[in-house]
Amino acid sequence: AVPRCKPLRHAYEKEIVLYAYFEGLDYVSTECVYAPHAYRGHARTLLKDLEATRPSTVAALGHSGRRLAVATEVATKTLGAC
């Protein structure tokens, strides 16, 4: 298996938007209709609160997440269209 290349993995979303703006790239940001009811909003709020306390929290979580191994027979749900 070949790992995916994610060149902007360590960049914040604001930095990516600024990069797209200065390079003249089209950047479209639309919210999924299900987003207001999604649980990820609670997780995002928690991350923002943790980051306000310790700025390196998001980077540390990303680093530890890359070290986790995922089993090959993980059950996943089929995603619907937004």
Looking at residue 81, its pLDDT comes to 72
Question: How far apart (Å, rounded) are the C-alpha atoms in residues 78 and 31?
Answer: 19
SS3 call for 70? coil
Query: In this model, does residue 71 exceed pLDDT 70?
Result: no
AA letter at 55:
P
Picking from 41, 47, 46, the residue whose alpha carbon sits closest to that of residue 59 is: 47
Q: Which of 37-41, 44-48, 52-56, 60-64 has the lowest mean pLDDT?
A: 37-41
pLDDT score of 35: 72
Its pTM stands at 0.43
Rounded to an integer, the average pLDDT of 60-79 is: 75
Tell me, what amino acid is at 71?
A
Cα separation, 77 vs 32, in Å, equals 18
